[in-house]
Amino acid sequence: MPDQSMRILESMMDVAAFRHKVLTSNIANADTPGYKAKDISFQDAMNNAISNDGKSQYNIYEAGTTMSERDGNTVNIDIEMAKVAENTLLYDTAAQLMAMKLRMRKAVLTSP
């Protein structure tokens, strides 16, 4: 049975993966007239996952900055790319920590 830290790391990866889909959808729709950029709160989703034994609910909200005068789109590519980079770091960090914990467990189990 996974310990609490493994459940938290797994939740971090799940939340970051979901957020990645939301952010890349924004980027894909950067030229769609009237499209409103979306996001989730990583912190809120993690708090939800921790209090619900790893099961998170995602509250998607409109996150656009300034609406384009030309087509009503609120996607700012620079902001979305920065969010993707930050989100990728969160995911990679959780994956590295999980791998380290698994290596430590393996070492304990295989030591004489």
Per-run averaged pLDDT (10 residues), the chain, 112 residues: 83 96 96 94 92 84 79 92 97 96 90 78
Q: What is the pLDDT of residue 2?
A: 59
Q: What is the pLDDT of residue 27?
A: 96
Q: What is the pLDDT of residue 75?
A: 94
CA distance 60 to 88: 19
